Amino acid sequence: MFIQVYSIIKKVKTVKESCEVPYYRKEYLTKMNKFWVKAEYNLYDGLIVITDRLKELFQKELEVRAKMIVVPILSNSGTGVSNGILKDKRTLVYTGSLHEHKDGITIILKAFAEIHKKHSEIKLIMTGDLNSSGNKTKILELVKELNISNNVEFPGYVSIEELKEITSSATALLLAKPDNRQNRYNMATKIGEYLLTSRPALISSVDPASQILKHRENVLIASPEVDSFVNEILFVLNNPDKADEIGTNGRVAALEIFDYKYHGMRINDFFLDLCEKK
């Protein structure tokens, strides 16, 4: 808050970028929480928020008066695609922090276990540092309980090039965000990374990106439930040509909807407009 106060004294404009809802670990805000958010955020002249839902929250519930612009996840045409090294395998892939509250790891594991009963050749690759996950014990216990230990790989953090190889060769890329306050307002940046691979991405209906993308046209969308994810994965496995088409359309959508150059110009205009106002 020191920076905001200093900017007022020096008559300098300040803008805050917010890709997470305030107090994102809380499901409900107390009156005191709301008071402090309102007090802090009203010291900014502008806010860059990641979703329309977050903008509406700031304006209506938290009564923040700062000028706002919605800038979603950003995509760069020079990233995402690789030649692939796993084309002889069928893999479902998740990349991320391996945290249950944020990414719905339990849903992914349980859905995979159901898929594996019908498609024993399928592998699940989950990148990210399992050792740093607060859910490590729960994840390993569940893998053992579901009897999928030999079919789930935890390679840890991998290089950018290796990550591109894994994701661009995937049968499908998974992100099963559960329904909680953090996920309802935040758009997962990895969705853009998924789409750029040209492989079909399966996301949760909770993520605001599901309101922008189109189901079974440029992405697959499932409710954050095991059965729903199983149905969409089976759709991909049973309709490989359509799955490839969805993946290709997903990359096009990412480059059109999340284009960093377009949104960069919008941010530039936002700053110029903000500076013109006294």
Confidence of residue 104 (pLDDT cuts 50, 70, 90): very high
What was the pLDDT predicted at 76?
82
Classify residue 80: in a domain, yes or no.
no
What was the pLDDT predicted at 5?
64
Whether 105 and 46 map to the same domain: the answer is no
Whether 70 and 199 map to the same domain: the answer is no
Instruction: Indicate the average pLDDT of the chain.
Output: 92
Whether 134 and 222 map to the same domain: the answer is yes
Classify residue 85: in a domain, yes or no.
no
| pLDDT over threshold 80, residue 244 | yes
Classify residue 6: in a domain, yes or no.
yes
Tokens of 240: 């490989």
Classify residue 84: in a domain, yes or no.
no
Whether 51 and 136 map to the same domain: the answer is no
Whether 184 and 241 map to the same domain: the answer is yes
Q: Is the pTM of this model over 0.75?
A: yes
Whether 108 and 240 map to the same domain: the answer is yes
Tokens of 201: 């991405």
Confidence of residue 85 (pLDDT cuts 50, 70, 90): very low
Q: Each residue of 128-157: pLDDT tens digit?
A: 999 999 999 999 999 999 999 999 999 999
Whether 207 and 113 map to the same domain: the answer is yes
Whether 15 and 109 map to the same domain: the answer is no
The Cα–Cα gap between 262 and 264 comes to 5
Classify residue 106: in a domain, yes or no.
yes
Q: Each residue of 107-121: pLDDT tens digit?
A: 999 999 999 999 999
Identify whether the C-beta of residue 186 lies closer than 8 Å to the C-beta of residue 50. Answer: yes
| Residue 222 belongs to domain with CATH number | 3.40.50.2000
Classify residue 83: in a domain, yes or no.
no
| pLDDT over threshold 60, residue 169 | yes
Closest C-alpha to 259, from 168, 196, 185, 184: 196
Whether 269 and 142 map to the same domain: the answer is no
| pLDDT over threshold 90, residue 217 | yes
Whether 130 and 54 map to the same domain: the answer is no
Tell me, what DSSP letter sits at residue 57? I
Classify residue 81: in a domain, yes or no.
no
| pLDDT over threshold 60, residue 86 | no
Main-chain dihedrals φ then ψ at residue 248, nearest 5 degrees: -65, -45
Confidence of residue 158 (pLDDT cuts 50, 70, 90): very high
Whether 178 and 246 map to the same domain: the answer is yes
Identify whether the C-beta of residue 170 lies closer than 8 Å to the C-beta of residue 144. Answer: no
Classify residue 133: in a domain, yes or no.
yes
Number of structural domains the chain divides into: 2
Whether 156 and 267 map to the same domain: the answer is no
Confidence of residue 8 (pLDDT cuts 50, 70, 90): low
Confidence of residue 276 (pLDDT cuts 50, 70, 90): confident
Domain that holds residue 181: 91-257
Closest C-alpha to 152, from 95, 224, 92: 92
State the CB neighbour count (10 A cutoff) for residue 165: 17
What was the pLDDT predicted at 275?
86
What was the pLDDT predicted at 10?
64
